[in-house]
């Protein structure tokens, strides 16, 4: 069984009372879906008892067994589509409560006034210490290649060196469509902004091949596997682990999608592929040891531009395999 230390989790969500109220019904209904499974880490607490998680409790769960060294906590604002908004200042407070563990990614609705959106991005960087941006095209009802609404924000992010985490593929967010979440739209964005760091979440399923094509084409585009247990990923898209192990191992980053999944559970499930190898296309391949460090830490440092944005955090911890 794999036991790791020094992992960077690039995709976690807050689940406090403020978050539930600020991000609205769609967010709550999505977590209802995840939590109804008895295997969910918050089945008992949320689905049964309707309890939220304090900042301290969430940090403690993520730090369990010393696996995670750094965790990104994201905000998602959809002021125009849901009339609901969790202030980015709250994400700043969230991070400061566990300084050096949490890194904050702001949520800005591209549908708001353009000047207002740019002012909010400036405020997030200069006043709140935000080091990235999160977009959810389905929830926010916009196309990522929208030149009028989204491109000014991309230009400003490129100037600041901020990475952007995009939701791609299907979603459990309710009352929205997924047509805006195709990875192919980010191919256009990456072409127009070649220095912009882009992380596509949830490996773009059901458009996984598009996602793999995009990360292969562009130097600064990455893919996370958050929200899906490895067993299910390999069951319907074994090419993901093949690309991660041999084709472009430098382009995959680890994210849990906590509280939907925990890092501990994800890594335990992934252990089977490291220990027994990958059987695909009539051949068996071993998962390369050096690619563990890339996936669970080193690639995230590049994808998140940490050497520029938070250099003091880059080398403070080394990735370690304690047991394999």
Percent of the chain scored above 70 by pLDDT?
100
pLDDT number for residue 159 = 98
DSSP state of 286: P
Per residue in 243-259, pLDDT (tens digit) is 999 999 999 999 999 99
pLDDT of 324 higher than 80: no
Arithmetic mean of pLDDT, 37-60:
91
Question: What span, in angstroms and rounded, lies between the C-alpha atoms of 164 and 175?
Answer: 24
Arithmetic mean of pLDDT, 203-220:
97
Domain count, the chain: 1
pLDDT number for residue 8 = 98
Domain of residue 299, residue span: 3-323
Q: Supply the pTM of this predicted model.
A: 0.96
pLDDT of 61 higher than 80: yes
Please enumerate in sequence order all residues whose Cβ is within 8 A of that of 208, keeping only pairs 6 or more positions apart, or say none: 169, 237, 239, 240
CATH of the domain at 45: 3.20.20.140
Arithmetic mean of pLDDT, 135-146:
96
Measured CA distances, 252 to 31, 192, 292, 307 (Å): 25, 22, 10, 18
pLDDT of 270 higher than 90: yes
Within 10 A of 142 (CB to CB), how many other CB atoms are there?
21
């Amino acid at each position: 069984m794999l036991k790791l230390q020094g992992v960077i989790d690039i995709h976690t969500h807050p689940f406090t009372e403020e978050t539930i109220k600020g991000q609205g019904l769609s967010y709550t209904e999505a977590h209802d879906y995840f939590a109804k499974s008895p295997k969910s880490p918050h089945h008992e607490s949320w689905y049964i008892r309707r309890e939220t998680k304090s900042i301290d409790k969430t940090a403690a769960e993520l730090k369990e067994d010393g696996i995670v060294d750094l965790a990104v906590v994201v905000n998602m604002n959809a002021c125009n589509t849901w009339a609901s908004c969790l202030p980015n200042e709250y994400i700043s407070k969230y991070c400061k409560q566990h300084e050096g563990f949490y890194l904050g990614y702001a949520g800005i609705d591209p549908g708001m006034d353009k000047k207002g959106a740019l002012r909010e991005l400036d405020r997030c960087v200069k006043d709140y210490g935000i080091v990235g941006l999160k977009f959810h095209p389905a929830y926010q009802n916009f196309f990522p290649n929208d030149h009028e609404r989204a491109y000014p924000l991309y230009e400003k992010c490129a100037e600041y060196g901020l990475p952007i985490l995009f939701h791609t593929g299907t979603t459990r967010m309710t009352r929205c469509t997924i047509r805006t979440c195709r990875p192919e739209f980010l191919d256009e964005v990456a072409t127009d902004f070649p220095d912009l760091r882009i992380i596509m979440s949830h490996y773009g399923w059901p458009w996984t091949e598009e996602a793999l094509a995009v990360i292969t084409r562009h130097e600064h585009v990455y893919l996370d596997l958050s929200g899906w247990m490895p067993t299910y990923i390999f069951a319907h898209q074994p090419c993901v682990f093949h690309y991660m192990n041999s084709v472009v191992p430098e382009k995959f980053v680890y994210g849990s999608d906590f509280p939907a999944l925990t890092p501990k559970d994800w890594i335990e499930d992934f252990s089977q592929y490291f220990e027994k190898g990958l059987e695909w296309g009539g051949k068996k391949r071993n998962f390369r040891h050096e690619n563990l460090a890339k996936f669970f830490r080193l690639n995230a440092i590049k994808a998140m531009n940490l050497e520029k944005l938070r250099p003091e955090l880059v080398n403070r911890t080394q990735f370690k395999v304690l047991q394999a």
